[in-house]
Amino acid sequence: MKITITEPADGEEEEIIVRCRHMDKRLLKLIYAFKAGQEKITALKDGTYFQIAPEEIYYFEAVDNKVFLYLEKEVYETKLRLYELEDTFQGTDFFRASKSCIINLAKVKGLSPAFNGRFEALMRNGEKIIISRQYVPVLKQKLGL
């Protein structure tokens, strides 16, 4: 595989051109990750709106018809629904862990089996999140287990 990087002239738009004989899963994952990384999530905290980069997000959680996003030490509210977030981050490190939670696998420190076929994810900020047994097979596939 050859990678060529050129700087655009002044006034030219940046672009990425992909030339390949076969579009495989690895390339699709890279494209999805790049696209998702370009989009920022608008979130609300204390009456002020912020733009949050996806790589800062540890997980999303739905509670009482509201969706919250959790960073290392801060919590924000977003107007997006979990299914919209799941679509936006399809093919990236974000993973649906339960009906009410989407986690960023890049922020997971460790995984361990839990009671009744569930898994527990230990996040890098010390929080623990339960992965429902319904989503464990998808997790194993995503991790190549």
All structural domains of the chain with their residue ranges: 25-143
Task: Specify the fold of 25-143.
Answer: OB fold (Dihydrolipoamide Acetyltransferase, E2P) (2.40.50)
The residue with greater pLDDT, 145 or 45, is 45
d(CA 35, CA 29): 10
| pLDDT tens, position by position, 76-130 | 999 999 999 988 888 788 899 999 999 999 999 999 888 888 899 999 999 999 9
Mean pLDDT of the chain: 86
Closest CA to 31 of 92, 96, 95, 107: 92
Query: Is pLDDT at 67 greater than 90 in this prediction?
Result: yes
C-beta separation of 101 from 60 below 8 A: yes
Per-residue confidence at 137, pLDDT binned at 50, 70, 90? confident
